[in-house]
Chain A
Amino acid sequence: MVRGIYTAAMGMLVDWFKLDSTANNLANVDTVGYKKDIPTFSVYDERHVYSSLNRKVPIGNLPYSVVVDRVYLDATEGSLQYTGNPLDLAIVGNGYFSVQRNNEVLYTRAGNFKLDAEGFIVNADGFRLLDVNNEPIRFEDGFSIDAEGYVRDHAGNVVSRIAVYGFASQQNLKKVGYTLFLPTEESGPAVAVEDFRILPGYVELSNVNAVAELVKMVELQRHFEITQKIVLAEDEMLAKLFSQLATLR
């Protein structure tokens, strides 16, 4: 009926979406290997505005409303924390571990690995860590992992090598939850990288910056309140209009 109400309402919905996204980031402030989400917004519909005298020459654009444009993940490295646990692995620089779920290969930077009962290196869900030949990595007994990803048995012989993959555009990886990622058309396929460094005994913490998220939350809340005022103002105008129309009659 009155466009301003709808435009303001869309702005409020976008704020809600921002809050949902921020809430997820803050909930994962302590999740190993978590990468934060950044939603972006765009003008949904723009119309040319014409002078009332000359309907042919546009005098500017009027945005009708705002919508969530897309969400991308911020792939910057989280800080590293020393744990001393030999199965905690952190990748310095770009790169992802590959783990196997059924017949599917997923990628992760959460390096808090464990052993399963058969001696395979697994993540918290039991998905096996893969080596450069796409085979699960197994330890019978006594082992070590070095910075190049070589896995050695207790006699010092190389058993296998942990595979590390990179992507052309990490920001476009698809999040599947459980700190796992899948490549998409836009991210490009997984490509084995060579110039990585693995730090055993460290984990990569979440890259969520609590202060920044908190500031974002305060900001969106205030914006939400302001937009609500606009809806109320539009409503008042309508009320006035109707009451005056009524007296005219």
Chain B
Amino acid sequence: MMVSLYSAATGMWAQQYKLDTVSNNLANVDTTGYKKIRAEFQDLVYQYYKNAGTPTAQNSTIPTGIYVGHGVRLSATNRIFTIGNLEQTGNALDLAIAGDGFFQIQLQDGRIAYTRDGSFKIDSDGRVVTANGLTLVPNIVIPADAVSINVSPDGIVSAEMQDGTIENLGTITLVRFVNPAGLKAIGDNLYLQTASSGDPIEGTPNQDGFGAIQQGFLEKSNVDVVKEMVDMIIAQRAYELNARTIQTADDMLRTVSTLKR
């Protein structure tokens, strides 16, 4: 008798969750390398009062049975790894990956994290680091007397020295995952591998399906503001619809309670 109340409650809960993901996406609309999250839903199990094929009194069988569903559940929050727009910055250490792949970053505890945020800096020792001071792997050290830095599409980093000579500083390698959506986001634009992402596959940029490195560009977030706003409207209206169901069920229960005076 109270199935509708609970179904509607699952609906309200699901839409609230959708709004949470939409607001996180919108908050990160301008975050370099951010990948949007999508909340996905499924219907819940069905209760069969009468199974299809049950014989009826009229010497026939019920064709479809009588069943009722129990609402909705959140089935996945899926991170969508489509590529964001590349924006030119002109900064020599802004690197974008045009295609598949992640940069490798060493965390303070020694673990390797992965990112598509290529806004690198140079720390006091000349090492290439992220905005938070975590070092890029393999580590590249820029000599203090370098005049300009050049990163080729296949990841070779070279510097022009004051005396005009070109010095090779190393090669940036990328990794990719069979299932990037399975990576665990730990904030600061960093991801960690999990059992569902698979092991990292390392390779050279611009080869074997890896994206080319674009120096002087940053990858913007892949959040589409218009779509997120539409999703927000849908979440709000669906929330209201389910609230309306609860109100109706409540009104009907009140009607029942006036049956006995």
Contact = CB atoms under 8 A, between A and B. Distances in A.
Interface residues on B, range: 35 or more
Interface in A107-137: 110, 112, 114-119, 124-125
- For the complex of A and B, the 10 pairs showing the least CB-CB separation, nearest first, are A27-B11, A24-B69, A23-B4, A124-B75, A177-B45, A23-B7, A115-B179, A20-B3, A27-B71, A31-B41
Nearest to A15: B252
Given A17-B68, A30-B14, 8 more contacts: A12-B256, A19-B249, A28-B43, A83-B38, A83-B80, A110-B42, A124-B75, A177-B42
Interface string B180-213: 0110000000000001111001000000010000
B42 A124 contact: yes
Interface stretch (A68-76, A95-103, A159-167): A68-76
Interface string B29-70: 000000000101111111001101100000000111111111
A30 B41 contact: yes
B243 to A, nearest CB: 10
A31 B244 CA distance: 18
A53 B38 CA distance: 72
Given A30-B234, A116-B196, A179-B42, A70 B7 contact: no
B82 interface: yes
A171 B181 CA distance: 35
Contact of A114 (B179, B209, B241): B179
Nearest to A169: B63
A85 B79 CA distance: 10
B238 A70 contact: no
A51 interface: no
B76 A214 contact: no
Nearest to A231: B259
Interface residues of A, number: 67
B144 interface: no
Interface of A: 12, 15-17, 19-24, 26-32, 34, 37, 39, 68-73, 83-86, 110, 112, 114-119, 124-125, 139-142, 154, 171-172, 174-179, 184-186, 210, 213-214, 217-218, 221, 224-225, 228, 231-232
Nearest to B78: A114
B251 interface: yes
Contacts of A22: 4, 245
B108 interface: no
B224 to A, nearest CB: 8
B14 A23 contact: no
Interface of B: 1, 3-5, 7-8, 10-11, 14-15, 18, 38, 40-46, 49-50, 52-53, 62-72, 75-76, 78, 80, 82, 100, 178-179, 181-182, 195-198, 201, 209, 234-235, 237-238, 241-242, 244-245, 248-249, 251-252, 255-256, 258-259, 261
Contacts of B10: 27
A28 B40 CA distance: 11
B12 to A, nearest CB: 8
B38 to A, nearest CB: 8
A25 B195 CA distance: 35
B46 A224 contact: no
Contact of B66 (A70, A184, A224): A70
A186 to B, nearest CB: 5
B244 A217 contact: yes
